[in-house]
Amino acid sequence: MLPGRQPSERDQTMRLTFLAPALLLIAVFIYWPLIYTFVLAFHQWNLTSSEMRFVGLTNFSGLLDSPIFDAALKNTAIYIVGSIPLKVLFPLFIAPAIWVVSARRGIVHKSAIFLPTLMSFVVVSLLWMWLLNPLVGIGNSVMAMLGLRLPPLLSSPDTALWTILAISAWKIMGFNMLLYLAGLASVNRDQIEAMRLDGAGDVALFRYLIWPTLSPTTFFVLIVTVIFSIQQVFTPIDILTHGGPSNSTTNLFYMVYQYAFQSFNIGYGAAGTVLIFAIIFVVTAVKMRILESRVHYQ
């Protein structure tokens, strides 16, 4: 079709025909489950029964009163906030450090940091379970050489959540570093030369060139990290602690899984999912309102 020409009926039909498969898949796998989850949140259903009863807001009130909810909500907030320094800010400083070293050395560092990203979360969880065994793990052997004892990181309610957060950060950090390196590719090295000639040090370079250049990437990494951080810890929670000890590692996702797929209380599971949706929606909206104006797009 030429620019400016009105599309004919045939063109319209062709467009719809080509779009139809994608629209169908999106409707069936994204919009329908989304709408149906909202419907289920107001019903009592056990997944297999043909009977589904409307119960109004009972699922929401029951969920808020449940012994797991308070801990799950608090831990979800900690997983999100704790992820920012580990998964967003730390790679932001690692990436420029790798970017400035020679290509050959850089590739070694990049590979080493990126490698955990390629491993499955199940493997990563089992690996850390062995490493952190306070009696027979490698961590314990290393600590013993220093004359120290490895504390029971995964079985203490004070440390288990932070251990899971650190394990998920170890796995995800390499991927975020790669995103920052991609952002750094757009930095003009002549500009660095010019700034150096004007006497700019490393801090000034980062503050006035790297940081503004990477701000769109940082914004993207921040939003993605916040959205996915509660999902990323699901596997380590399930394998390492089952949400314990004393509900200290559970989060809203794990709680939804337990209600929906362990006790088949689908109404509670759906109500929990609606709450997660609302939380992520609000957090993302606030972030976009506050941060987008500060992002420097080239």
Query: Under the rule (CB under 8 A), what is the footprint of other proteins?
Result: 44, 46-49, 55, 58-59, 62, 65-68, 129-130, 133-137, 152, 154-157, 240-247, 258-259, 261-265, 267-268
Nearest distance, CB of residue 142 and other proteins, angstroms: 16
What is the C-alpha radius of gyration for the chain, rounded to an integer number of angstroms? 24
Nearest distance, CB of residue 154 and other proteins, angstroms: 6
Q: Between 25 and 112, whose beta carbon lies closer to other proteins?
A: 25
Nearest distance, CB of residue 23 and other proteins, angstroms: 21
Q: Between 163 and 213, whose beta carbon lies closer to other proteins?
A: 163
Which strand (E) or helix (H) includes residue 43?
strand 43-44
Nearest distance, CB of residue 58 and other proteins, angstroms: 6
Q: Between 2 and 135, whose beta carbon lies closer to other proteins?
A: 135
Map residue 260 onto helix, strand or coil. helix
Tokens 């990437």 -> residue: 217
Q: Between 65 and 198, whose beta carbon lies closer to other proteins?
A: 65
Q: Between 59 and 273, whose beta carbon lies closer to other proteins?
A: 59
Alpha helices in the chain (DSSP H): 9-26, 32-40, 58-65, 69-83, 90-100, 103-118, 121-131, 138-145, 160-184, 189-197, 202-205, 211-232, 234-236, 252-261, 266-291
Nearest distance, CB of residue 280 and other proteins, angstroms: 23
Considering only CA atoms, which of 216, 250, 210, 208 is closest in space to residue 233? 250
User: How many Å apart are CA 250 and CA 75, to the nearest integer?
Assistant: 7
Nearest distance, CB of residue 162 and other proteins, angstroms: 15
Residues 6+ away with beta carbon under 8 Å from 98: 106, 109, 110, 113, 177, 181
Q: Between 229 and 258, whose beta carbon lies closer to other proteins?
A: 258
Q: Between 262 and 293, whose beta carbon lies closer to other proteins?
A: 262
Residue 59 near residue 260, CB atoms below 8 Å: no
Residue 254: C-alpha distances to residues 37, 226, 237 (Å): 17, 16, 8
Q: What is the DSSP string of 236-249?
A: HIIIIITT-STTSS
Nearest distance, CB of residue 21 and other proteins, angstroms: 14
